[in-house]
Chain A
Amino acid sequence: MATALPPYVGPLGKAWHYGFRFICALIFLFLILPILVIIPLSFNAEPYFTFSEGMLAFEPEAYSTRWYKDIIDNEQWLFSIKNSFIVAFFATFLATGLGTLAALGLSRSHLPGRSAIMGILISPMIVPLIISAAGMYFFYSGVCIPPEWSFGMLEEKACLTQSFPGVILAHAALGTPFVVITVTATLVGFDHSLTRASASLGATPTTTFFKIIVPLILPGVISGGLFAFITSFDEVVVVLFISGFEQRTVPRQMWAGIREQISPTILAVATMLILFSVALMTVLELLRRRNDRLRGVQET
């Protein structure tokens, strides 16, 4: 915030200049404080959610890692962390694959009914989650595999509700809009003469795809994938409706914790999730820079 004021600015202008910056600082504080405040509190030695006197005096014994140990010792948390990764991994995989293909199709000018199709593909992001969850709940409990169709793998019929495939399909659907949007965005400036040039130089369509298109859209694909991953990793409404005990994810576990017995363990998990989002954000930023650089090259 250190832009120097020009010398001709009067006292009113100065007051405005600093006043404005002060207001902005308060708004930024509002944005960031809730996230930062959790981190020290998760090291509270006491089971309370407020800074003890010892913490404010920076006494080492007022801090402890007991809540982190709680997570490691608690089977439920470990189980839900594992589930979250399983679900998010497969949902991302599915969403990224389908979303990238669709974005390639959407970026061609020949697609009939493009805006209607786009509207449908983006809708999972817009429709209130409670409605999506309710719809999926009714639909998924009706989609079942009877045992006689399962080549002897099932003893009883298996339905999509309360199953991993069900949660994964639901999360994939919720994640695809992000992939479609990010990949389409990287294709907006895509120069189709590059593919023609490649073809005229004798490359097969496959070679063109991997040598020309993939490197260009890869940043978009990865950042879309990250969005899809975080969508699934953070999603709780659909999980509340369609998952069972075996598919309990981290947000589901946190939801129960916040509603029933908010313990500092929740804050420890929250801190870990914050670090996780910082990591994802960094990756995304690096990708954005790479993308800008590649496009820079292309424009010259």
Chain B
Amino acid sequence: MKTIIKYTGAAVVALSAAVYAAGPAAAADALTIVSWGGAYTKSQVEAYHKPFTAKTGTPINSEDYNGGLAQVRAQVEAGNVTWNLVDVELSDAIRGCDEGILEPIDHSILPAAPDGTPATEDFIENTLTECAVGEIVWSTVFAFDASKYPDAKPTAIGDLFDTAKFPGKRGLRKSPKVNLEWALMADGVPLEQVYEVLGTPEGVDRAFAKLDTIKDDVIWWEAGAQPPQMLADGEVSIASAYNGRLFNAIFTEKKPFEIIWDGQVWDLDLWVIPKGAKNMEATLDFVKFSTDTQRLADQSKWISYGPVRKSSFPLVAEDMQPHMPTAPDNFKTALQNDYEFWADHTDELNERFAAWLAK
């Protein structure tokens, strides 16, 4: 018995030492950069993270989330901020800044365009805000599995809600954003009046009533990587998705999906820094590096999202142009996500949406 104890003791000591030595390298200077996962994060890793680490030696931990300000707010309120930089939608960037959970970013530190145009003029409208620096233009569209509809194919936003004509499960994002807009569009509200109608209680009721018509046919997704997967698994026939994810599924993985650009809702993604984040200097270095003209253009090699710098446009590869949300053919019936509307109404509509789902 003594020997067993002796060996156990020795093993414990040896293992503890090994664990200590082999434990995750306490990379105090590593940056934790949070984004939307899957193909999108991969495009950022290839275009931003790898060259940045190669240049500065700063390692980057890439973490995934599904959007929203909840985790940032939780970290700031708990006083334990471990994220350095987060990729958010415009309405969240505005809202987070108002709430004081994001650090203001000085725009003058951003590098000028190669021709000398200062950054503040080079970035397109709304992509530089008090607390955020823009990266890309992206869009929520919907797509269908062509093998499921050999005859008539869905073409317009109304078809998403037409389960009689196009049977099959729908995959939609588990969020009121975009779904409410689409519901109104499908219900006949003209594009330019969508947010006006949605701003009234009757408009919200009307949107939810339209969603009610397909409620039992919807499987809800949270992560951007899910909808292409759900289409591929045959779990749904039509799904809303971020256009870049669909591009990857269709062109890289050769899936038989078709994108419908009608009623696309486009938005911006921006970098923000949670209030009280550590390692500010390296973080700002990364922001400068990743949003320069070349890097933004590089990202479009990996995913079909448009850069937000005017000087990056000409650098985007020609064969990528037609897949961008902003390509003229795709942009005809596009709606811009109204960041002011969502900055003001996100909480109440989220709550209403959660209650609606639970019913």
Contacts and interface: CB of A to CB of B under 8 A. Distances in A.
A pairs with B: yes
Interface of A: 49, 79, 82-83, 86, 89-90, 93, 137-138, 141-142, 144, 155-156, 159, 161-162, 164, 210-211, 214-215, 218, 244-246, 256, 259-262
B5 A214 contact: yes
B333 interface: no
17 contacts: A83-B24, A89-B19, A93-B12, A138-B78, A141-B79, A161-B78, A210-B2, A214-B1, A214-B5, A246-B24, A259-B226, A260-B37, A260-B38, A260-B64, A260-B226, A260-B229, A261-B229
B116 interface: no
Contacts of B5: 210, 214
B226 A161 contact: no
Contacts of B16: 90
A164 B20 CA distance: 11
Interface of B: 1-2, 4-5, 12, 15-16, 19, 22-24, 28, 32, 37-38, 61, 63-64, 78-80, 82, 222-223, 225-226, 229, 233, 278
Contacts of B32: 244-245
Nearest to A246: B24
Nearest to A241: B74
A82 B119 CA distance: 44
A81 to B, nearest CB: 12
A287 to B, nearest CB: 13
A158 to B, nearest CB: 9
A156 B78 CA distance: 15
B226 A215 contact: no
A261 B38 contact: yes
Nearest to A138: B78
A156 B81 CA distance: 11
Dominant SS among interface residues on chain B: mixed
Given A215-B1, A245-B32, A246-B24, A161 B80 contact: yes
Contacts of B37: 260
A141 B80 contact: yes
A86 B80 contact: no
A156 B278 contact: yes
A261 B226 contact: yes
Contacts of B22: 82
A144 B38 CA distance: 34
B80 A260 contact: no
Given A244-B82, A261-B225, A210 B24 contact: no
A53 to B, nearest CB: 17
Contact of B1 (A82, A83, A161, A211): A211
Contacts of A245: 32, 61, 63, 82
Contact of B223 (A86, A214, A218, A260): A260
Nearest to A162: B82
Contacts of B229: 260-262
A144 B80 CA distance: 9
Given A210-B2, A260-B225, A261-B38, A86 B19 contact: yes
Contacts of B19: 86, 89-90
Given A156-B278, A260-B226, A261-B38, A86 B23 contact: yes
- Top 7 closest pairs, chain A to chain B, by CB: A141-B78, A260-B223, A261-B225, A260-B225, A159-B80, A245-B61, A141-B80
Given A215-B1, A259-B222, A260-B64, A155 B79 contact: no
Contacts of A210: 1-2, 5
Contacts of A49: 233
B278 to A, nearest CB: 6
Contacts of A138: 78
